[in-house]
Structure 1
Amino acid sequence: MQRRSFIKNSGMAGLAIAALPQNVWASPQEFSTEELMGKADIELFGEGINLRKEAHDAFVKMRAAAEKDGFAIQMVSSFRDFYRQQSIWERKYIRYTEDDGMQPMEAIEKIIEYSTIPGTSRHHWGTDIDIIDDNAQTNGDVLVPEKFEKGGPFEGFKLWLDENAEKFDFHLVYTNDPRRKGFKYEPWHYSYAPLAIPMLTAYRKLNVVKLLSKEDFLGCEHFTTGFLKTYIQDNILDINQDLL
């Protein structure tokens, strides 16, 4: 497949993610560009868990603690490689543009309410999880904010996570802070801070525009430098401050 024309008015040189103050978890550990973009063959642990070893071990401890309190943590999503993220992106892009009749950028803005551009997902790192309580009775889509709120089937589970998740170094990524931009509130998405923080530190050093210009997936020809700068600032960096 011929790679699509990608950046309009690019000026790509030097467009790496801006550095921010580093959290105490940050370490000198090096991560490859392939790892950070979800293209490396990394070692994952746990059947149905699929996390890096340290994150896996912390998750198992958190799951055991939740079980004692009557909650059965079910993993909805953990590690996703670049190509899995690409399939999610393209499925939504086709649905919004072809089935719903949206213009390309309108569809892209709709996608990035909850889904990341391939190569930019925290789920590429083996540190992040989407979780629910398998003991709760519910129908339909489970990753819906209202189901974690008062009166929802996961209300009690969310209260438990608010009280206990950080004891195991898992932090909510996309909070309900009204000042936060980017992805919408995701009460199910947690990140293992001791690994995710140094990985984000490494990711901030990448020239994301240049890297994405080498990719070929539906809709990427409509990205502009301005759009990607805003996406980086709002969707990648405007997260729970504990994870920066």
Structure 2
Amino acid sequence: MMRFIGLVLIVTIIAASQKDPKELTGQSPNPSRLLEKEAQAALDLMKTAAAKEGIQLKVVSGYRSFTRQKQLWNRKYKKYELQGLEPEAIFDKIVEYSTIPGTSRHHWGTDIDIIDAHATYSGDVLVPSKFHGTGPFCKLKEWMEQQASNYGFELVYTDNDRRTGFKYEPWHYSYAPLSRKRYQDYLKNIDLVSFLRAEAIMGMDQISEERLHRYLEEHIKGINPQLKG
């Protein structure tokens, strides 16, 4: 009997640790649009430490639903379509920086885009040049490079010529203790091509299966090795 109870307990723990596919693709309701509790707690600690150095960490994007990502994708698709680009060219243009709905790490409640609210800036903020040279977020970038990993956060899309996929994003950090598991769950449980074919995402029905597989290999897997587990 004790052996049976122990087996049931192990199965229960494993099941509880696994994420439902709808959570992995941002399709489960998250009305508060919150980060996972553990990620939020680590972020709060990091904010407090940064504030002592005169840096006000501001999250400009945290949790993002499938619906929101789909709105962003479709808006960009329409813009490039009006410019006369063909579907595959539109696809390639969008995925320089933006993910296909259902594939964003922001669906997991573990990832954040950050800036320094104490800095003086104008215009678009998520621009690499603003984190380099004399950019307003250089102090933030330097501090994060030295301290982020102490709070469990790692840069996702690093400045590495040998890394494939999305372009360098000095603002995008992931809470590694949780996101490593989400990443592995995603690769094991989501059939990317079947999933994307089933969703009403603009242009997706005109993108080849080969291109979608390449997106998986180059973009979803093209991340900082520290986040692969």
Question: Normalising by structure 1, what TM-score?
Answer: 0.85
2:27 matched to which residue of 1? Answer: 39
1:121 matched to which residue of 2? Answer: 104
Cα distance in 2 for partners of 1:122, 1:227 equals 20
Asked if 2 retains the 8 angstrom alpha-carbon contact of 1:44 and 1:126, the reply is no
1:145-175: CA deviations, max 9, x gaps?
A: 0100121111111000000011000000000
Asked if 2 retains the 8 angstrom alpha-carbon contact of 1:44 and 1:51, the reply is no
Q: Which structure carries more helix by proportion?
A: 2
1:15 matched to which residue of 2? Answer: none
Cα distance in 1 for partners of 2:195, 2:86 equals 25
- Give the counterpart letter for 1:125 in structure 2: W
1:175-223: CA deviations, max 9, x gaps?
A: 0011011000000000000110001110001211111111112111122
1:189 matched to which residue of 2? Answer: 172
- Give the counterpart letter for 2:40 in structure 1: H
Paired residues for 1:102-141 under 5 Å: 102-141=85-124
1:102-155: CA deviations, max 9, x gaps?
A: 222111111000000000000000000000001111111000001001211111
2:219 matched to which residue of 1? Answer: 235
Structure 2 unaligned spans of 5+: 1-12
Asked if 1 retains the 8 angstrom alpha-carbon contact of 2:87 and 2:207, the reply is no
Paired residues for 1:39-58 under 5 Å: 39-42=27-30, 50-58=34-42
Match of 1:71 among 47, 55, 77: 55
Cα distance in 2 for partners of 1:44, 1:66 equals 25
User: Structure 1: which 4+ aligned runs deviate by more than 4 Å?
Assistant: 42-45
SS at match of 1:200: helix
Identity %: 46
Coordinate RMSD, CA, aligned: 1.4
Cα distance in 2 for partners of 1:96, 1:62 equals 39
Paired residues for 1:20-31 under 5 Å: 28=14, 29-31=17-19
Cα distance in 2 for partners of 1:157, 1:201 equals 30
Asked if 2 retains the 8 angstrom alpha-carbon contact of 1:71 and 1:133, the reply is yes
Cα distance in 1 for partners of 2:194, 2:140 equals 41
- Give the counterpart letter for 2:183 in structure 1: L
Cα distance in 2 for partners of 1:223, 1:101 equals 16
Question: Normalising by structure 2, what TM-score?
Answer: 0.90
Shift, 1:243, TM fit: 0.1
Cα distance in 2 for partners of 1:101, 1:157 equals 39
SS at match of 1:217: coil
